[in-house]
Amino acid sequence: MAGVCVPEGLDPKEMGEEELWELINDSRHRISLGVRPCILIPYLRQARVLSEMDEDEILSCHNLTNRCMRTHMLDLLRTQGKNGAMALLESLMIHYPALYTQVTGRKPSTEPSRFSLIKYSELTEYLVRAVTGMQKELQELKDEKCDLYIRYTAAIEEKSVYQLQTELQNAQTEKEFQRRHSLRSVCPETPELHEEVRSLRCQLAKAEKLDPDILAQDLAEAIDSQVELAEQLRSYREENEQLLRDKQGLLDQKECLSLQVQQLTLDCKMHQQKSTVIQNQMKELKAERDQAYQSRDEAQAMIARILAEKDTLRCQLVELQEKLSRTSPPPFLMRSRPRAIRISGRVISISFQGEALLTQLTVVGGNKTGVFVHEVTEGSAAHTVGISPGAQIVELQVKYEKNQKALRMVLEDSTLEEAMWALGQVTGVCHLSLRPRQDYEALLQQLQSCETSSGDSFYVRANTSLPAGPGGTLTVVCNDILHVTNTRPAGTDDSWHASHVHPCQLLDLQSGTVPNYYAQRLLIRAIEDMSFQAKKFEKGRVIAQNTQKTVRIVGTGRQGRNPLWVSVEEEEDDATSAPKSCVTLMPYTLVTPHYPPVCRPVLLLPSVLGRILDKKLASWQGFQLCEPVLTSSEHAARLQKSEILEEVEQGGNSCYTLQSVEKVMKKLQGIHCVLPLGLDCVRRLQRSEIFPIIIFLLACSSSEEPLLDKLPCLYHSVDPDSWCDQASLLNSLRTIIWEEQKKIVWVEPDLW
């Protein structure tokens, strides 16, 4: 059948499923007889029309004969539809080209375009494996055939030699027998006869040994046999050499195909890498575009805010520059003190001529220990009235030289700087209130042993960044917590001695001096720099978004008392007179430490992003979302305004209260309460001794960032580069909350 000329048939790719299987079923008997399933199965597995279970079912079933295995394979392929038929025909085209022509009527071709169910790279890989398998099988056949030829040649040689020896012995035996028989029949046995026979035997043996014809014939036959064997061996060697040459050719083809596969693989990898690079560049460009849009909107909002505050700040700066002189009071810290303070203990009031009072006496101490008279000049008015070292100055009444009004200055808890400024304002008659104290001796011993340099000790929050300078000036970043231990260090009258504070315990770290009197001028300079940046942006320059915050604008209510004069109480003639306006800028604000005993609530900002993450964070172990309290109109009326943190916008019949937060904190100890609230709730929570962990997730927010500067506590800003998706952000939030829980909570007094 292989020699029959079959007319060109239709392309199988253009035929339908039923037509293909009718074509195969017409030749089903021929296929069942002519193919071996073990040869076709690798390609059918590569084309994914047979599974591993199907292969085991075809090859490993002992109940099926070889033909039944082929028939069963066709039945399994029939279940794969058109793909099964195409895969069968393509495998026949590779392994049984003649049978493929008989079935389809087309000539086989190995062009990649003729294969529809397998990729070019997979086809190349399969052909390489198939060629390698054929080479291995062919080499095994050749080696087996060569061994067979060698064994056959050796057998022939052994047989020819053995046969010659046997025939020669048989001939000799037969000839000897015939001679004996003829002699016995002709002559009687006589001694003479025996002698003659013996002589004949000797002659015969000599003749047989010397017969040249027999020896020549035997030699010729042996030579012919050896020549024939040599020719066969030479033909086998030539055939073996041809097989080796074919093997080398196949190896060269295999190497060429391997190189092509490697080249295609490299091209594919390069294409994938280029595609990945392009996709990453597109993502980066999109992210940069979105960030640029966001930066533009936020910068415009910031410029509008800065320009709106620019004019008001300029007026305040002019007023401050006029006030800041060597004769002006130092920038005292904001401290809450009632107007009518009650001084406890035995107090002695002394009136005398106190002009140039600081030349009459010197003082030591501070706000922690009290201010004490240290030395009194002998012969001075202070010495004459009986003022002696060790007396604590608790109050000073004097007519202030600037407006000649009577001022009553309480110095019981004032700093050394405040006390020396107040005593320096005395230009005439003054009234001192003194109290004997035993603390003076202990303070004096500490000063002499250099355990401390003064009696001052308080903590402040820096509202501006201060660079390092000569003479041990401390580097300060905005929002740093400083421990001030001396407001009048030796050798300077415009600096404080302070130290950075450990975030988790009251432990002083690096120490140095920081400006006090000129700190407001530094604050003014920082604000002017912000205004200058806004002008540069208007000219087309872009403001960096990740720069360190350098200034925090902090103010007090305009109708409150002047924070620069909190230690000074004026003797007003008219109790109903309106209080004066105050200056709102402060380089430092006083803070006090707090140690929450339970897990602190969590507040995520800005609110738009925080509401998305609240439920995600609350679903983790150790966190619980604060739920609103359902309230009726009567219940809502009974609730005090301070108890309501925030009303729920939708529905209007529920709100978040202090009780809902305290319920989570007290009943579920070890659980952080997640607050879905805004910044307005922070002050109400802190008045109830609840200090939330405030986490700000974006570098800038036009609506909520200005409110952060007004918070009475610190907050944590998350670097946008520290997270890339929601999972990494939530993990970062858990780490931040765990670290913030260990820190001391520093709280400012309510300046509003």
Segment 435-478, tens digit of pLDDT: 887 788 889 999 888 888 899 999 999 888 888 877 788 999 98
Task: Report the sign of the C-alpha dihedral through residues 91, 95, 97, 98, in that order.
Answer: negative
pLDDT tens digits, 103-130: 888 888 766 556 666 666 666 666 767 6
DSSP 485-553: EESS-TT-SSEEEEEEE-SSSS-EEEEEEEESTTHHHHHHHHHHHHHHHHHHHHTTPPPPSSPPP-B--
CA atoms within 13 A on the CB side of 243: 18
Tokens representing 461 are 């929050």
Whole-angstrom distance, CA of residue 417 vs CA of residue 411: 11
Element (H, E) at 355: none
pLDDT range class, residue 6, cuts 50, 70, 90:
very low
What domains can be seen in the chain, in order of their start residue? 17-104 (1.10.533.10), 329-455 (2.30.42.10), 457-535+583-594 (2.30.30.40), 595-747 (3.40.50.300)
Whether the CB-CB separation of 587 and 331 falls below 8 Å is answered with yes
Tokens representing 529 are 């720099």
Q: Residue 511's pLDDT is what?
A: 92
Tokens representing 675 are 């607050």
pLDDT range class, residue 570, cuts 50, 70, 90:
very low
More confident position, 17 or 704: 17
Q: Is 654 exposed, middle or buried (0-12, 13-18, 19+ CB in 10 A)?
A: middle
Q: At CB < 8 A and 24+ separation, what contacts does 122-125 make?
A: 122/46, 124/257, 124/260, 124/261, 124/264, 125/261
Asked if pLDDT for residue 579 goes beyond 80, the answer is no
Whether the CB-CB separation of 673 and 706 falls below 8 Å is answered with no
Whole-angstrom distance, CA of residue 48 vs CA of residue 80: 10
pLDDT range class, residue 365, cuts 50, 70, 90:
very high
DSSP state of 15: S
CA atoms within 13 A on the CB side of 82: 10
Asked if pLDDT for residue 547 goes beyond 60, the answer is no
Share of the chain above pLDDT 90, in %: 12
Q: Which residues contact 460 (CB under 8 A, 6 or more apart)?
A: 333, 481, 482, 484, 498, 588, 589, 590, 591
Angle at 544 between CA 538 and CA 549, to 5 degrees: 110
Whole-angstrom distance, CA of residue 235 vs CA of residue 79: 52
Whole-angstrom distance, CA of residue 90 vs CA of residue 464: 80
Q: Residue 743's pLDDT is what?
A: 92
**b/e 109-143 (16+ beta carbons within 10 angstroms → b):** eeeeebbebbeeeebbbbbbebeeeebeeeeeebe
Nearest to 512 by CA among 503, 501, 499: 499
Phi, psi of 330 (to 5 degrees): -70, 160
Q: Residue 542's pLDDT is what?
A: 40
Whole-angstrom distance, CA of residue 663 vs CA of residue 669: 10
Asked if pLDDT for residue 523 goes beyond 70, the answer is no
Tokens representing 391 are 């007396």
Q: Residue 333's pLDDT is what?
A: 47
CA 251 to chain centre: 49
**Which segment, 134-138, 353-357, 591-595, 625-629, is predicted with the most confidence on average?**
591-595
Whole-angstrom distance, CA of residue 721 vs CA of residue 724: 7
Among the residue ranges 129-143, 185-199, 621-635, the one predicted with the least confidence is: 185-199
Asked if pLDDT for residue 275 goes beyond 70, the answer is yes
Q: Residue 527's pLDDT is what?
A: 62
Whether the CB-CB separation of 616 and 730 falls below 8 Å is answered with yes
Whole-angstrom distance, CA of residue 526 vs CA of residue 531: 9
Q: Residue 378's pLDDT is what?
A: 92
Tokens representing 648 are 């729920």
| Tally of CB atoms within 10 A around 387 | 20
Q: Which residues contact 739 (CB under 8 A, 6 or more apart)?
A: none
Q: Residue 604's pLDDT is what?
A: 87
Whether the CB-CB separation of 363 and 414 falls below 8 Å is answered with no
- Its pTM surpasses 0.85: no
- Calculated CA dihedral for residues 440, 444, 445, 449, nearest 10 degrees: 150
Provide mean pLDDT across the span 392-418: 79
Whole-angstrom distance, CA of residue 550 vs CA of residue 561: 27
Angle at 393 between CA 389 and CA 399, to 5 degrees: 125
Q: Residue 567's pLDDT is what?
A: 36
Asked if pLDDT for residue 45 goes beyond 60, the answer is yes
Whole-angstrom distance, CA of residue 749 vs CA of residue 741: 21
Asked if pLDDT for residue 308 goes beyond 80, the answer is no
pLDDT tens digits, 222-239: 777 777 777 877 887 888
Whether the CB-CB separation of 522 and 464 falls below 8 Å is answered with yes
Whole-angstrom distance, CA of residue 708 vs CA of residue 711: 5
Q: Residue 72's pLDDT is what?
A: 80
Q: Is 450 left (phi over 0), alpha (psi -120 to 50) or beta?
A: left
Q: Which residues contact 157 (CB under 8 A, 6 or more apart)?
A: 225, 226, 229
Q: Residue 147's pLDDT is what?
A: 72
pLDDT tens digits, 709-729: 777 788 888 887 778 888 888
Whole-angstrom distance, CA of residue 118 vs CA of residue 87: 9
Q: Which residue carries 């103010």 as its tokens?
A: 555
Q: Which residue carries 């950075």 as its tokens?
A: 500
DSSP 288-347: HHHHHHHHHHHHHHHHHHHHHHHHHHHHHHHHHHHH-STTSPP-PPP----SSPPPPS--
Q: Which residues contact 347 (CB under 8 A, 6 or more apart)?
A: 394, 395, 433, 434, 435
pLDDT tens digits, 651-702: 445 677 778 788 777 777 788 888 888 887 888 888 888 889 988 876 545 5
Tokens representing 162 are 């053995």
pLDDT range class, residue 520, cuts 50, 70, 90:
low
Nearest to 115 by CA among 101, 126, 129, 102: 126
